[in-house]
Structure 1
């Protein structure tokens, strides 16, 4: 960790214990130090003040009522996990300082050391980990040309790196948003003078940790990585020549070695990925399509919530990863679709495998706890019970004849040796805590079996002693008991104290009883206590050996976790396809996107009793490249746009889609500009955000992209908005421009004229039915453009008062008829009842203004449409100049 100036307001204390504390605290100035003292963790000075507020515990002081009083607070050691979790959630770092020698054997001050540093990105406690999401720690290194990115989930051992262009900060922010890191490491030199974050990370809200620059040095980073993986080069991981990525990855491993103080045995491999290997999705698209969480922040109502029908955490995490990184190569997509199709049709096979998968715990996180020495006996039993079902699943997948299943079958490993190791040595129902005993099965260690026999016989010996003492004293209520504080004792009620023999020695007085010890009981206690301590030590040693043996097989466990997660995900897709009547899309490398009776996968589930109106889609890069969709608000334009984008994304994830038939040409990116938002803290209005996101689309889309745009230009004046929207469509259409398949929803009916200008543009509208001044939304997309927006009708549905609606109709009539009075002033302020029949209204009086006379000189009858448009722009300039 970065060593910065100690921020503690230290008060001197001459005691050896406080001197020891101050020495350790200097090594971890930015962490809250949990200083072990007996059964408590104590905190002092500023640590105590800060922790007491967060944990809501009493703040006391050492040397109370003296000039050198030191603020302090403490928590019980046995319940520390609860308090640590609350501090980590508050973004704090905790250094755990333990007593590393037995106080009974210590000569003087007990030796203490920091055994682990817990940060937001390095937690292993199950209560702080979402089983359905990775918990990433990310490291970034900034060079002139590249940004190196390394991401590690310490709870699972997943470790991957990439490099991004330094000139593309938005690409870095997009990648980070998908990883959702809990902590980000950067070099100290990347921070600007006042300690602020790099510009590419501003306002991201991530927990930032700066490290000394030497940690990121390439030589140091390369060495630490090759030592970790026991190799001479990184070529086998695909990153030997990726300088920035190696710097980021090496710094991350060094940080873990510094903070975790243990071997990182489960970090056995490193994968190199490229953002070009999958479909790129920017943050705007991820959010507007509600891929991993809905607009209200819930996972349940997102695409992830719909497609996650997995039975294991291993599968759930892969669903999220696949949704955020759809494939762009045809072969792996077809392989996934093959398996989904097989298990969709074979109901019994699907159900049998799913039943077995339900017995599998989180193998990746179990391995993480085992490797980091934070596991308990019941974690090993969870691992054993998970491995127990692997042979059955192996038999079931053997029935699938598809070549796509061959890769899974060939790398399948039932891990019999690990199952056998746990089964033979760990008790089937072990205690929660290692020190509670009854952990190791008989036959594993001769000395352990001998000592346990002594303990078992001693129980009978104690019972026999109690019977003899009852007979000797004539006290039938006499009993022999035990507690952890006082050990064994003989308990006698006070009314029988006159009967106790002379060799009874008083040990403890209670309200109604007295407790004693006898020489014979003392001898038994010495023998039993000694045996218990030896049993505990031997069991702990054997357990640690078993743990290390399992950790050494970590690579095998990780491979099987990956196979199980993949199988679980694909069978979950098959379950969804069967339940919701999805079809297999025909995938190819062509430009055509054709959906027959497509549906929105999320909207159709909102009310199963309300039938969803399906719609067809036809887009290509020629005569159907841009579809302009008009129609009233609430008619379903945005839903239609999203359902098309979601269907394409689902297909390239390898999932069946909500349609009757589908032919989908691969797309390299999906761009979505749907919905309104602002970034007030950045000084960006809704319109500015809209333009920034639109600019990103126009600057990065290719002919192979899919673009959905909704109401572009609505955040400014009508003329400006129409002009921008018109120019965007021109920029998108045609082989000499971007040429991407585009759905463009708008209220600007003027844009429908583009169909007459460009053969690649087609008009569609959302069909409605007018009835007695009311409208009925039919939700059907049909060819042709709409002639009005029906905004006042929608306002009526929203409950606007009748006077407002009547006045709006009057103003709308005047606007649509361009009414002006005799001096050229609009009549918007004048009440007007619509005429019974059609009227021909003049724009000006009998004597036209000079401007109109000049306009009439513009000859446009024989001009082409584009020339006429240029004349209209000229007209606009004349109007601006008065």
Structure 2
């Protein structure tokens, strides 16, 4: 490094400690970047690339951004998944000997963003850690630095289960050990798009032991320790707002794997168009940002306990019963700011006076909210009322200290109210009286000179001055003022008296600003002692907000309270798809019943494409999720079981994780459901077997249905275009055929979107093609081919049946001499044959039975 200047040596040393981040190196009023950082940043940020002499033979690439507008550039980099190390001057240049000392004061990463402009208001910003153990288990730890929330969970289902858990949260960055499985890291980074960071240290210091006092398992402590170490490494400041770690017992919540969340479009659509068109977009009637974040958490973790579900339903019912009180509550919530993130900013040390005004204004509304809650009659509302602390002392502190309309900056004064501090009031009096004196002096000098345009002004370089235009200089008596500055069109003067007042005013202003800053820091430290109380208040307000939103959507969209019985009964009357009915503009949604009693495990759904099979299937899942997260549901009435898991295979899509083909994804997702579902689960399988030949697909589809029916007994909706499978109703006692009704009218198919008992009689594929406006010549050719294929198929079936009967007769005759070879064998064969009624079987089934017999004889 000897070839470089001392300053560049300092830069290179700090950069070596922050290799994976853009280093924003403070030089005067700019953050500068050099070498490869400059080359990359100029491209990513579209800023000018220059160079400078750093002492080396070649000039060094350089680019920079003004420090006062750096936040926008940092935001651009972080949104692209990069990290930014902020390197500030930590020494006064006036007293520095040699190069001013600089240090990285903060490492900003996608998962540790605190600045409001970089955050989604209604979404958490999670940093996660993923730790793997020798027994194949994983731990996932979450932290939202903006709110201080901490969660840990133990994952026993392998890497796929860990991915599903991460996928269910708005995770922006994942921390892993440096020796973490390379292939798994590639999946997380390259295919799922997470920013990956490394941290090996997992020790939890004494000062943070209180956070983990409820955590008992060593694995969870290791996982959270990794996360905590990374936060400390990057933030380099107080973390007093971190909340106690909550152990998430995953078996207390409905399990939704990443494919089901995606297929059901819970929080975003398959087309990645954001929230619009998702279930979240329909049911989000929250008022506050923190309420919106809680709603998303409830949706991602529906409840499994009947008591907990019904407690939420009771409160929704209480809010729904009293319209005017609920509307009053909604109006009051509009004045409540994001207390959850404000508390985080207070503890983090980057809160300004305007943030504290938002805290104060929010606290002003709490007594009104309490009064409204107290006016609800339902007994369940009492618990909401009792858990709210209005924080009177904190409100009084902020009422008496912070100015009504403070500036954004905290070092320029105007932060503290008059009357809060005696010394500050005295400085302000001196400053205000001095300015009043100057205004009076200006009036006096105009009268004395007769120059009406004479004015007294001020700037930071020359202080106060008397300014006279050159055209009026002739009116000034010689020696009246002392000349101070000459301008093109005017002269500026000073007098001893004005100079004296200037000193007094500026001293008072300077002391006033310095004292205000000190007082503001003192107030901020006092507010900091209320962080935990603010967090608890924020949680209660968020809960109220979500519940009133549920009541609002129930009233607006006609949702009803579901009942939860002990039996595995699904009885939904006139159920509706919450999203589809919401987006239909010129059409009316057709509701349908869903009935599956204790003796019905599988509904086999047939009907033409576009008729609504997938809508019907998703409808059941969304109704179940809504009910178990605490919302009312879209139907006339419903009795439901509590589902422990939902598995879906709906729609064709390539795999997010492994890059597999659509058919492979279909088989993997089917296997995932078959391997993990229980009799308390829900399985939705749509058109299984489409990605292979007809007979392959039909065989797979039938075997999957049979396996679910015989071995799992989960409530299953299975849609198919294989009409041959409808014969399973005669073979599987807990399977029932239903179909989507369609009618042919004047050569066109009319989809009625009604679910009826029994199998569909036609596929209507050509009619659907006609609806898609395929060329008429193509439609006519397809119709002719269909007639030809159907005729050929009928003839082939007759020929096949005759051939099978002939083969069966020959087979039985062939077995007779073989059976005579031994008395025991003959006896076994005769006994076996007597137990079979071959003529009541289909030829294929009889052939299969006799083939098995032949194998036994040969063995």
TM-score (norm 1): 0.88
> Aligned pair 1:83/2:73, yes or no?
yes
Distance (Å, rounded) in 2 between the aligned partners of 1:159 and 1:65: 48
Residue equivalent to 1:150 = 141
Provide the rounded CA distance (Å) in 1 between the counterparts of 2:528 and 2:169.
26
Contact 1:45 1:70 (C-alpha < 8 Å) held by counterparts: yes
2:268 aligns with: 293
Please say if residues 187 and 658 of structure 2, whose CA atoms lie closer than 8 Å, have aligned partners that are also in contact. no
State the 1:94 CA deviation. 1.6
Does structure 2 retain, via aligned residues, the 8 Å contact 1:61–1:73?
yes
**Aligned residue in 2 for 1:190:** 180
Asked if the contact 2:210–2:244 (Cα under 8 Å) also holds between the matched residues in 1, the reply is: no
Q: Say which of 575, 582, 586 aligns to 1:598.
A: 575
Alignment match, 1:47: 37
Contact (CA 8 Å) 1:190, 1:198: kept in 2 or not? no
Distance 1:163 1:864, change over 3 A: farther
- Higher mean C-alpha deviation, range 329-338 or range 518-527: 518-527
Name the CA shift for 1:730/1:867 in 2 (closer, same or farther; >3 Å).
Answer: farther
Alignment of 1:641-652 (within 5 A): 641-652=617-628
Q: Deviations over 1:335-381 (max 9, x none)?
A: 11111112112111211111111110100111111111111111111
Tell me how far 1:861 sits from its aligned partner. 7.8
TM-aligned CA distance change 1:782 to 1:463, over 3 Å: same
Match of 1:331 in 2: 307
**Native 8 Å contact 2:679 2:712 kept in 1:** yes
Offset, 1:589: 3.0
The 1:55–1:494 alpha-carbon spacing in structure 2 relative to 1, beyond 3 Å, is: farther
Q: Distance in 2 between matches of 1:466 and 1:375?
A: 41
Q: Shift of the alpha carbon at 1:733? A: 0.8
TM-score, normalised by the number of residues in structure 2: 0.91
CA distance in 1, matches of 2:184, 2:558: 52
Q: Does residue 389 of structure 1 match 2:365? A: yes
Q: What is the distance in 2 between the residues matched to 1:501 and 1:152?
A: 74
Question: Partner of 1:95 in structure 2?
Answer: 85
Q: Give the Cα–Cα distance (whole angstroms) in 2 for the partners of residues 141 and 723 of structure 1.
A: 41
Please name the residue that 1:657 is paired with: 633
Write the deviation string for residues 465-513 of structure 1: whole angstroms up to 9, x where unpaired: 4345445655432322223454433333233456486586665554433
2:468 alignment partner, SS class: strand
Alignment counterpart, residue 712 of structure 1, candidates 688, 695, 701: 688
DSSP-derived class of the 1:595 partner: strand
The residue that corresponds to 1:161 in the other structure is 152
Tell me how far 1:385 sits from its aligned partner: 0.7
2:195 to 189, 199, 207: 207
How far does the alpha carbon of each residue in 1:524-559 deviate from its partner, in whole angstroms, 9 at most, with x for none? 333322222221211111111111111211111111
Matched, 1:742 2:713: no
Are the aligned partners of 1:506 and 1:515 in contact in 2 as well (CA < 8 Å)? yes
Number of aligned residue pairs: give it. Answer: 826
Match of residue 6 from structure 1: none
Partners of 2:138 and 2:158 within 8 A in 1: no
Deviation at 1:843, TM superposition (A): 7.5
**Matches of 1:409 and 1:584, distance apart in 2:** 23
Structure 1 residues 380 and 346 mapped into 2: Cα distance closer, same or farther (>3 Å)? same
Q: Given that residues 173 and 201 in structure 1 are in contact (C-alpha distance below 8 angstroms), is that contact kept between their aligned partners in structure 2?
A: no
Contact 1:479–1:491 (8 Å) recurs in 2: yes
For the residue of structure 2 that corresponds to 1:140, the secondary structure is strand
In structure 2, the residue matched to 1:781 is 755
Greater shift after overlay, 137-146 or 395-404? 395-404
1:272-331 deviations in Å (ceiling 9; x for gaps): 112111000011111111111122223121111111101111111111111111000000
Q: Distance in 2 between matches of 1:111 and 1:473?
A: 55
The aligned residue for residue 116 of structure 1 is 106
- Secondary structure of the residue aligned to 2:753 is strand
2:221 matches 1:246: yes
Q: Deviations over 1:138-191 (max 9, x none)?
A: 0122211331211011111111111112x5111100010111211111111215
Equivalent of 1:722 in 692, 698, 701: 698
1:586 to 563, 566, 569: 563
CA distance in 2, matches of 1:506, 1:69: 48
CA, structure 1 residues 518+104, in 2 after alignment: closer, same or farther (shift >3 Å)? Answer: farther
Alpha-carbon displacement from aligned partner over 1:198-240 (angstroms, at most 9, x marks no partner): 66766221001112x2x12xxx23xx2x512547xx44x2x12
Gaps of 5+ in 2: 813-835, 852-859
Q: Which residue, 597, 611, 614 being the options, matches 2:588?
A: 611
The CA distance in 1 between the partners of 2:544 and 2:104, in whole Å, is 42
* Alpha-carbon distance change, 671 to 230 in structure 1, aligned in 2, over 3 angstroms: closer
Q: Could you say if the C-alpha distance between residues 410 and 19 of structure 1 is closer, same or farther in structure 2, counting changes exceeding 3 Å?
A: same
1:625 to 601, 608, 613: 601
- Which residue number corresponds to residue 138 of structure 1? 128
Go from structure 1 to structure 2 and tell me whether the alpha carbon gap of 1:406 and 1:177 turns closer, same or farther (over 3 Å shift).
Answer: same
Matching residue of 1:407:
383
SS in 2 for 1:432: coil
Please say which of residues 524-533 and 428-437 is displaced more in the overlay: 524-533
Q: Does the CA contact (< 8 Å) of 1:583 and 1:660 recur in 2?
A: yes
How far off is 1:773 after superposition? 2.0
Aligned residue for 2:761, secondary structure, equals coil
1:680 to partner: Cα distance: 8.9
Is contact 2:554–2:632 with CA below 8 Å preserved after alignment? yes
Q: Could you say if the C-alpha distance between residues 391 and 661 of structure 1 is closer, same or farther in structure 2, counting changes exceeding 3 Å?
A: same
Counterpart for residue 125 of structure 1:
115
Q: Choose from 611, 616, 623 the match for 1:640.
A: 616
**547, 553, 566: which one aligns with 2:530:** 553
Of stretches 580-589 and 28-37 in structure 1, the one that deviates more from structure 2 is 28-37
Instruction: Pick the aligned partner of 2:333 from 357, 381, 402.
Output: 357
Verify the 8 A CA contact 1:671 1:706 in the aligned structure 2: yes
Give SS of 1:189's match. Answer: coil
When structure 1 is superposed on structure 2, of 105-114 and 631-640 the one drifting more is 105-114
Q: Out of 773, 778, 783, which is 1:804 matched to?
A: 778
Q: Write the mapping of 1:480-519 to structure 2, written as runs, cut at 5 A.
A: 480-497=456-473, 499=476, 502=479, 508-519=485-496
- Contact 1:503–1:519 under 8 Å retained in 2: no
Compared CA separation, residues 540 and 191, structure 1 to 2 (3 A): farther
Distance 2:140 2:537 in 1: 27
Structure 1 CA distance, aligned partners of 2:722 and 2:354?
A: 64
> Which residue, out of 697, 721, 729, partners 1:755?
729
CA distance in 2, matches of 1:758, 1:512: 102
